[in-house]
């Protein structure tokens, strides 16, 4: 599998605290069946050099564990302004990862997306199920050309019932193009294999392999994801998580 959202670079944000922690994360990723990772530290001013240094340290260790890593950034909305050429896309593709972080769309979003699009950039919204409250907002973002990346943890109930329900609704309505880990060090880990199983059981194998593999491959080839609208979820399976994983 390919993970397109992960805070594994050591010492650059609130993810891996140091190289030892980063290596532990990579070992856990390898055990989870992940062969490629796009490292996406949170955006902050003047951090390009710090990211490059952390990447150079981690890259040979990742190779020795059988994982290929590439670089990106998880932008917050305020950090997307400025010269689009200065932005760091996912693995050098034309896709940018954006954490909107609020339930309502900012008033300047149409202009911003338009200017990014004119620069040949596409937006992937990071874990919208964690802060968006309505499918209408997903529809608006989709009309603006955005794609959606859901967190494995949201689908597995890690962030609470509301978030899991939103993830489920987004999946059922075609607003899920990628699933990623958003792993942050030792406590928030990958869980992609577990999530893949859950998705295959609830929404079918085709959907699971699209959002946890095929669309990621398309992204690395700089191609748009395929949108699948799966069948309704098997409620019994979600009930299983409710009973066995109290929130």
* Contact between residue 138 and residue 148 where contact means Cβ atoms under 8 Å apart: yes
Nearer to Fe ion, 3 or 182 (CB): 182
What does the alpha-carbon distance between residue 98 and residue 154 come to, in Å, rounded to a whole number? 17
Binding residues for Fe ion restricted to 213-242, rule: CB under 5 A: none
Q: How many CB atoms neighbour CB 86 within 10 A?
A: 7
Closer CB to Fe ion, residue 1 or residue 4? 4
Question: C-beta of 74: minimal distance to Fe ion in Å?
Answer: 5
Strand partners, 122: 95
Q: Interface with Fe ion includes 129 (CB under 5 A)?
A: no
- Tell me phi and psi for residue 139, to 5 degrees: -60, -45
74 binds Fe ion (CB under 5 A): yes
Residue number, 51 or 228, with CB nearest to Fe ion: 51
Question: Is 13 among the residues that bind Fe ion (CB under 5 A)?
Answer: no
88 vs 230, which CB is nearer to Fe ion? 88
Report the nearest approach of Fe ion to the CB of residue 13 (Å): 8
Binding characters for Fe ion, 34-73, by CB under 5 A (x = yes): ----------------------------------------
| Interface of this chain with Fe ion, residues 143 to 162, rule: CB under 5 A | none
Nearest position to Fe ion, beta carbon = 182
Q: CA 166 to CA 177: how far, in whole Å?
A: 15
Q: For the CB of residue 79, give the shortest distance to Fe ion in the complex, in Å.
A: 13
Provide, rounded to whole angstroms, the least separation between the CB of residue 99 and Fe ion: 6
The count of residues interacting with Fe ion (CB under 5 A) is 2
> Environment class of residue 95 by beta-carbon count within 10 Å: exposed (0-12), middle (13-18) or buried (19+)?
buried
Q: What are 12's two structure tokens?
A: 């650059």
Nearest residue (CB) to Fe ion, 168 versus 182: 182
CA–CA distances in Å: residue 137 to residues 6, 105, 106, 143, 148: 25, 7, 11, 10, 12
Tokens representing 225 are 């994801």
Report yes or no: 67 and 29 within 8 Å, Cβ to Cβ.
yes
What are phi and psi for residue 94, nearest 5 degrees? -95, 15
Instruction: Give the nearer residue to Fe ion in terms of CB position, either 76 or 222.
Output: 76
Q: Angle CA(37)–CA(33)–CA(101) in degrees, nearest 5?
A: 45
Positions in 169-198 near Fe ion (CB under 5 A): 182
- Of residues 26 and 228, the one with the C-beta less far from Fe ion: 26
Residues of the shown chain interacting with Fe ion in the complex, contacts defined by CB under 5 A: 74, 182
């Amino acid at each position: 599998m390919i993970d397109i959202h992960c805070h594994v670079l050591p010492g650059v944000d609130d993810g891996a605290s140091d190289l030892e922690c980063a290596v532990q994360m990579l070992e856990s990723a390898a055990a989870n069946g992940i062969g490629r990772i796009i490292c996406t530290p949170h955006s902050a001013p003047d951090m390009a050099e710090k990211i490059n240094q952390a990447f150079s340290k981690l890259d040979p260790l990742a190779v020795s564990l059988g994982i290929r890593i590439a670089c990106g950034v998880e932008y917050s909305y305020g950090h997307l302004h400025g010269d689009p050429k200065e932005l760091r896309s996912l693995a050098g593709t034309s896709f940018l990862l954006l954490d909107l972080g609020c339930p309502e769309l900012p008033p300047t979003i149409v202009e911003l997306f338009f200017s990014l699009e004119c620069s040949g950039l596409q937006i992937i919204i990071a874990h919208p199920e964690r802060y968006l409250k309505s499918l209408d907002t997903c529809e608006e973002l989709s009309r603006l050309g955005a794609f959606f990346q859901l967190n494995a943890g949201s689908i597995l109930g890690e962030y609470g019932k509301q978030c899991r329900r939103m993830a489920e609704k987004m999946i059922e309505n075609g607003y899920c193009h990628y699933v990623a880990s958003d792993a942050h060090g030792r406590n928030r880990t990958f869980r992609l294999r577990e999530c893949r199983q859950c998705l295959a059981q609830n929404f079918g194998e085709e959907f699971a392999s699209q959002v946890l593999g095929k669309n990621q491959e398309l992204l690395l080839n700089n191609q748009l994801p395929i949108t699948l609208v799966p069948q309704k979820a098997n409620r019994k399976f979600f009930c299983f998580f409710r009973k066995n994983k109290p929130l």
